[in-house]
Chain A
């Protein structure tokens, strides 16, 4: 009985001593960093709303353009005249694809700059995609045939889209994550 009473008295004394400790002062004002973080996340969310549909639309457009990129699949006479047309059309396609590549590159750069750090898996994926883009760039520097160049630009654009989507993944997960019943209770 006595021991229990003593223990409770000690507990109360310890609690009082701990509670009497003054608050610690934060080393610096954390608001600017937090405000910047909120602004970044808002930008990313806006980008997620616009960027993903845009990337998907670009993918659909590329798929629709595929038949035009390989028009010589069913050759017919007069062969020479058709080849000339194909070259002109492919050169135009290359121009379109290059412009699209520039836009995608700028988009990816923004995501890399403003986005959340990638997880280990996503980072490994991003490095692999960047390697493939480097390889495509190497092939592009050597390719002279317009059809081959168009094909390479198309591949480059698809890889850039993959890279962009990797950077958007954490936001996509966060956007769609809903707290479980337990979490709602905790928070």
Chain B
């Protein structure tokens, strides 16, 4: 299981929530829930989109996760920060969707050795290029990569979420990293130079 006791510093879920808002949500107060929803909609959407890679699925994930947050708010016992609990709902919902829709195809990667002297492409890639490359990764690989590097999940936690072994998580991460490297290098080689095209 993923333990929601921590929210990684990078996560968009790292936000303060007024205790009265959580208490209102637990009472079923719709106005309180709307404030919570609006505060976390963007964070939830980003996470869902990164994990599923599809806007239509991400939209359903956010809606379902938020609905669960409203209906299960009483189950929140306060032993972890509320945003971490909410983030867990989104992760669970997204991964459940990946499993249910069989979106995760275990792609066979062509493993290439990185050039030891070359700088890793993500040190130079802009967010758009990184986003494009991420979207071209197989769903499981992308989800593992994101959970590990951004959400701070351990391999044990990821393996449990996917119902697989720790080796599975490690190999998916290694392959996703290699694939991302390839994609970014290909992109940088094929992207036409704007100055040249103008000239």
- Interface residues, chain A, with chain B CB atoms under 8 Å away: 6, 10-11, 13-15, 17-27, 29-31, 33-35, 37-38, 41, 179, 182, 184-187
Contacts and interface: CB of A to CB of B under 8 A. Distances in A.
B48 to A, nearest CB: 9
Interface of B: 1-2, 10, 12, 30, 34, 37-38, 41-43, 45-46, 49-50, 55, 59, 62-63, 66-68, 70-72, 75, 85, 88-89, 92, 116, 120, 122-123, 125, 127, 130-131, 134, 145-146, 149-150, 177, 180
B10 A14 contact: no
A137 B75 CA distance: 49
A38 B150 contact: no
B42 A17 contact: no
Contacts of A187: 68, 72, 75, 85, 88-89, 92
Main secondary structure of the interface of A (DSSP, over half): helix
A19 B62 contact: no
A124 B46 CA distance: 38
B88 A17 contact: no
A25 B130 CA distance: 16
Contacts of B67: 34, 37-38, 41
A23 B10 contact: no
Contacts of B123: 13, 17
B131 A21 contact: yes
A20 B46 CA distance: 13
Contact of B127 (A21, A33, A179): A21
Given A18-B130, A27-B59, A186 B2 contact: yes
18 contacts: A11-B149, A15-B10, A17-B122, A19-B10, A25-B42, A26-B59, A30-B62, A30-B66, A31-B37, A31-B41, A35-B34, A37-B67, A41-B71, A186-B2, A186-B88, A186-B92, A187-B68, A187-B88
